Amino acid sequence: MPKIIDAKVIVTSPGRNFVTLKIITEDGVYGLGDATLNGRELSVASYLQDHVIPCLIGRDAHRIEDIWQYLYKGAYWRRGPVTMSAIAAVDTALWDIKGKLAGLPVYQLLGGASRESVMVYGHANGTTIEDTVKTALEYQAQGYKAIRIQCGVPGMASTYGVSKDKYFYEPADADLPTENVWNTSKYLRIVPELFKAAREALGWDVHLLHDIHHRLTPIEAGRLGKDLEQYRPFWLEDATPAENQEAFKLIRQHTTTPLAVGEIFNSIHDCRELIENQLIDYIRATVVHAGGISHLRKIANLADLYQVRTGCHGATDLSPVCMAAALHFDLSIPNFGVQEYMRHTPETDAVFPHAYTFADGAMHPGEAPGLGVDIDEELAAKYEYNRAFLPVNRLEDGTMFNW
C-alpha cells in the first residue's frame, strides 16, 4: 500500500495568497490539494499543519473515503469553510496520488469522460455599460460561448466584479478590509440596461451570466429576474444570501430566470433543500471549499436527481490545483453545466505548471496521470505571504451589508 510518510503546507503569494497541501508517499509519489480560503488562508494552513497532517502519517493513501470520513467525523465540530477546505485539500491530493499510481488522469478514475471538453465562462467587466460590452466582445472573439457581465453603477464609487485590473480580478485588495458602499436601487436600474446593450451587441448565441453577489432581498431578486427574462440570462448568481434556503422559494414565485448559488457552500447540507425543492438551476460549490472531489461528487449526484446542473466556482483566488481538479470533475459528471474560468496571472501559472488547456470557449484537464498540475516549490518560496482581506460593504447610511 502507498503509505503516507510526510505532508507539508506550502503558502505562496504570486500576486495573491495560495495555500497548497502536498502529501508524499513512501515511494516518492506525491499529490497536491488546494487549500486556499480567500482572506482566511492561514486558518486553513494551521488546521492542516497542526490538526490534520499528524493524523495522516502512516495511512494508506489509497483509502480516500476512509480518510475523508476520519477527518470529517473525527473533527467533532463538523463542517464550516476552514474544516471543509482542509478536508478538500487532503481529498484532492489523494485523488492526485491515486491517478499517478494508476497512470491515469483523475477523470478516468471518476468514470471517464462524459463530454469532449467543458464549456467555461469568462468575466467581462467595465466601469460603464459600453466598456463592459466592449470587453464582452473581446471574450466572444476569443471563442467564449459564455460570458459573465458586470458593470459599474452610476452614483456608486465601486461595485462587485468591476476591477481595477480588468482581466486579473482580485477582490482581496488590502491589509485590512476595504469599505465599499452599496445602493440597491441604483444597481437595479443599471443591470437591465446592461443586458439590453449586451444582447444588441453580442446577439443571442452567447450565454450571458451575472453575479448579484448576495446583495438583494428575495423580492428584489424576483423583480430583477423578471426584468431580465426578455434577455434570457444563463443564470443570476448569488441573488440573495443563501443561509436561509427557503428564501429562494420567493424568487422562484416571480421569475423563470435560472438561479445559481453555492460558491460559499462547504457541504451538501448547505444546498440539500435548494436542490430537493428545485429552487436553483445550478450549484456553484467547488472542489477547494466543499470537501474535495469526493464530496462534490455527492453534491452533483444529488443535484442530478433534480435536474440541477453544476457551475463550479473558478475565481482566481482558487489555485490552478483547484482548477485542474474541477476540470476532471466537470469532464466526468453527467449533469455538468458550466465552469467559471478567471485566468490566473502568468506568475501564478509559473508557480503551478499544469496540463489543462483552453480552446474555443472550452477547457480540458489533459491526459497527465493524476490531476496534471504541479508546484514549483523553489519559485513558490520567493513569494512571501501577504495578509489580504476581502472588502466589507455598507449601505449609504453606514449599515453593514453583504459584500
Q: How far apart are CA 337 and CA 341, in angstroms?
A: 13
* Location of C-alpha cell 486579473: 168
Q: Residues 211, 220, 270, 330: which binds Mg ion (CB under 5 A)?
A: 211
Question: In the structure grid, which three cell numbers stand for residue 378, read together?
Answer: 523553489
Provide the minimum distance between the beta carbon of 150 and Mg ion in the complex, in angstroms, as a whole number: 10
Of the candidate residues 41, 330, 340, 374, the single one contacting ligand CS2 (CB under 6 A): 340
Q: Which partner from the list ligand CS2, Mg ion, none does 390 bind, CB cut-off 5 to 8 Å by kind? A: ligand CS2
Q: Give the count of beta carbons closer than 10 Å to the beta carbon of residue 256.
A: 11
Judged by beta carbon distances under 5 to 8 A according to partner kind, the member of Mg ion, ligand CS2, none in contact with residue 171 is ligand CS2
* DSSP summary character for residue 222: H
107 versus 160: smaller Cβ distance to Mg ion: 160
Q: Which is nearer to ligand CS2, 21 or 315 (CB)?
A: 315
Residue with cell 510518510: 5
Q: Write out the binding residues for Mg ion, residues 260-299 only, by CB under 5 A.
A: 263
Cβ–Cβ under 8 Å, residues 338 and 234: yes
Q: How far apart are CA 68 and CA 116, in angstroms?
A: 30
Q: Does 96 bind Mg ion (CB under 5 A)?
A: no
Beta bridge partners of 150: 125
**Interacting residues with ligand CS2 between 106 and 165 (CB under 6 A):** none
Contact between 317 and ligand CS2 by CB under 6 A: the answer reads yes
Q: Which of 123, 210, 213, 328 is catalytic?
A: 213
Q: List the one residue out of 55, 87, 81 whose CA is nearest residue 69.
A: 87
Active-site annotation holds for 354: no
**Which contiguous run of DSSP H or E holds residue 43?**
helix 41-46
Q: Cα–Cα distances in Å, from 221 out to 61, 175, 270, 295, 369?
A: 46, 33, 20, 30, 44
Beta carbon nearer to ligand CS2, 96 or 317: 317
- The helix (run of H) or strand (run of E) holding residue 273 is helix 272-276
Q: Which of 211/374 has CB closer to ligand CS2?
A: 211
Q: Which of 47, 121, 139, 160 is catalytic?
A: 160
181-240 binders of ligand CS2 (CB under 6 A): 211, 213
User: Which span sits near ligand CS2 by CB under 6 A: 13-21, 183-191, 311-319, 373-381?
Assistant: 311-319
Candidate ranges 41-49, 57-65, 194-202, 310-318; the one touching ligand CS2 (CB under 6 A): 310-318
Residue in the structure block whose three cell numbers are 440573495? 240
CB 354 within 8 A of CB 320: yes
The answer to whether the CB of 244 falls within 8 A of the CB of 211 is: no
Q: Which of 220, 263, 330, 374 binds ligand CS2 (CB under 6 A)?
A: 263
Stretch that binds ligand CS2, among 251-259, 268-276, 312-320, 325-333 (CB under 6 A): 312-320
Q: Residue 386: count other Cβ atoms within 10 Å of its Cβ.
A: 12
364 counts as catalytic: no
Q: Which stretch binds ligand CS2 (CB under 6 A): 50-58, 239-247, 249-257, 309-317?
A: 309-317
- Answer for the pair 320, 119: CB distance below 8 angstroms, yes or no: no
Q: Which residues bind ligand CS2 (CB under 6 A)?
A: 38, 171, 211, 213, 263, 313, 315, 317, 340, 390
Interface ranges with Mg ion (CB under 5 A): 211, 263
What are the catalytic residues? Answer: 160, 213
